[in-house]
A and B are shown apart, each in its own frame.
Chain A
Amino acid sequence: MNRALLILTPSLLLASLSACNPGANRKPQESQLVLTGSSTCAPLVNEIGKRFEKQNPGVRIDVQTGGTSRGISDARSGLADIGMASRNLYDSESALHAFPFARDGICIIVHKTNPIAELSDEDVIAIYTGKKTNWNEVGGGRDAPITVVHKSEGRSTLELFLKYFKLDNTNVKPSVVIGDNQQGIKTVAGNPDAIGYVSIGSASYEAEHGVAIKLLPMKGIVPGLGTVRDGSFPLSRTLNLVTREEPSGLALTFIEFARSAGVHDIIKEQYFVPLAP
């Protein structure tokens, strides 16, 4: 009798715990939103969230990074109210709802002291597949091995980069694999021989704030707000907020706020391009 009781009781405890919150449905709170996902979107959404909080006291917008795939996965599983994605949804994700709110591009970055002024697409492909391994092979002047900084899987920046350069991830030979945009920027800024690719918005913001990187033009087009806006920059993408179902309540209010003209100044401040209303 004793033995049965002592196995039964903790099991009952655990079972009752799971009965409180069935399955994976996090109870949505009316005064808090959790957003996870793209490290490109995160700083921007954070700033938008802060203004939203000021205009709606008592509300809290929590933003975390983790990559586009995480944002989509969390939105699906309910761990996050809204997912942040720095690309458009794939066919396999068509059951979700995407709300674009800004545009951005992806550019190559090198250390500020690197004398190179531009890299052709072929050179970038050669560097990333390990066929050219020294800066003097691509016109960089110095004799120094290239440190190739590459994104880990699950990041839309990676996926778009591979698609544009028609690379297969199995052919890429990186020296270092990083996660968030910010980590990539920091790695390149800390290594004079490094090359990487990150969001134009993140890179421009950090470069303007004194971080030791510089953005390289692609196909002769200089990366910046103007060239992303008019579509001339070759590698551009849309930033999206993603939900599992039709948004309602606080989520809907926030999404509408993020797409409204009221935050265009924030978007421009972070070096992204607001969408035309």
Chain B
Amino acid sequence: MSRSRRDSVLNWTLLCSGSLAGLIVLLIVAFLLIESAPALWRVGAARFFTDASWHPNPVSSRGTFNMLPMIWGTLLAAAGGFILAAPLGILCGVFCRFYASRTLAHVFRRLIELLAGIPSVVYGLWGLVVLVPLIRRLAPPGPSLLAGALILAIMILPTVALTAEAALTAVSHEHLRAAAALGLSRAATVRSVALPAAWPGILTGLLLAIGRAVGETMAILMVCGNVVQTPDSLFAPVRTLTANIALEMAYAMDDHRSALFVSGLMLTAIIVALVALAARFSPERADA
């Protein structure tokens, strides 16, 4: 092949790969929209919030499609996990950057990185075998919102900690030296100089962590009890939107199946919005 011909083929191949990568997203979104359309058309968006309950597949009567209890389940579990993980994660970042020696910080960060890679199903296994029986001794039945929130907290903590640590490390040395020159204590430096400067990066990590918590399926499926109800206490079992899709997808037909796609579309929209927000605060660092 002549040299310029080889280059044209190369260019063409590259453009093809690029467009394939871009088209996959369009394909997925198109599928979601197409499959969601029947429910949105026939059932109507309002009924997802106002129907009596979520019983989409009864034998004799018409299905009801109230997703609100599951939306609460998703939000409360994610919020619970976030409330626990955010302060702990930021404090871990502070520890790593400002209170640990070089070696300790290096080891600590490596450990957190390794823990970030542990699959959710392993956390779910531990939750099912260790955490749920513990909670059951406190308040039956055991599988509950609390279990879900705790597991989510453990899962998203590495994200928060790693981004916080990276953001704190990126704080310009001049700022820190100026603070030292002004006689500020370490705590005061962290509080009034480092944290505010690192805030955009930390916020990125927080947003990504919430996104991860909202999208989590397996661990929640294993420890939350999967009862469709708006929880009235921390110890009540809940079902999240993600777990609902996992449970009902296999046999859902027609409007029920379409309703599941609607919930999938909703989840995707929320998480993509979170990720886009996160990217806005951290344009150069796109990973967590």
Query: Assuming the A-B contacts A152-B248, A154-B248, are A170 and B237 also in contact, with contact meaning beta carbons closer than 8 angstroms in the complex?
Result: no
Nearest B residue to A10, CB-CB: B20
Query: Assuming the A-B contacts A152-B247, A177-B227, are A69 and B16 also in contact, with contact meaning beta carbons closer than 8 angstroms in the complex?
Result: no
Interface residues of A in 5-40 (CB under 8 A from B): 5-7, 9-11, 13-14
Q: Are A191 and B141 in contact (CB under 8 A)?
A: yes
Binding site for A on B (CB under 8 A): 11-12, 15-16, 18-20, 23, 27, 52-53, 55-59, 64, 133, 136, 140-143, 225-228, 237, 239, 247-248, 250-253
Q: Are A73 and B20 in contact (CB under 8 A)?
A: no
Q: Does A237 contact B (CB under 8 A)?
A: no
- Cα separation A174 to B55 with both chains bound (whole Å): 14
- From B16, B59, B136, B250, give the contact of A10 (CB < 8 A): B16
Q: Are A9 and B16 in contact (CB under 8 A)?
A: yes
Q: Is the interface of B mostly helix, strand, loop or mixed?
A: loop
Q: Which residues of A contact B248 (CB under 8 A)?
A: 152-154
Cβ-closest 8 pairs across A and B:
A69-B251, A70-B251, A175-B141, A147-B141, A6-B15, A70-B250, A177-B226, A154-B251
Nearest A residue to B8, CB-CB: A2
- Cα separation A113 to B225 with both chains bound (whole Å): 23
Q: How many residues of A contact B (CB 8 A)?
A: 37
Binding site for B on A (CB under 8 A): 2, 5-7, 9-11, 13-14, 66-67, 69-70, 72-74, 90, 144-145, 147, 150, 152-154, 159, 169-170, 174-179, 190-191, 193-194
- Cα separation A11 to B228 with both chains bound (whole Å): 41
Q: Which residues of A contact B252 (CB under 8 A)?
A: 73, 154
- From A70, A72, A150, A175, give the contact of B140 (CB < 8 A): A175
Q: Which residues of B contact A69 (CB under 8 A)?
A: 57, 251
Q: Which residues of A contact B58 (CB under 8 A)?
A: 153, 169
- Cα separation A159 to B20 with both chains bound (whole Å): 45
Q: Are B251 and A176 in contact (CB under 8 A)?
A: no
A162 CB, min distance to chain B CBs, angstroms: 8
Q: Are B57 and A153 in contact (CB under 8 A)?
A: yes
- From B52, B59, B136, B142, give the contact of A90 (CB < 8 A): B59
In addition to A66-B251, A175-B140, 17 A-B residue pairs with Cβ atoms within 8 Å of each other are: A2-B15, A6-B12, A7-B19, A9-B19, A10-B23, A13-B20, A14-B27, A67-B251, A69-B251, A147-B141, A152-B248, A159-B59, A169-B58, A176-B141, A177-B226, A177-B227, A191-B136
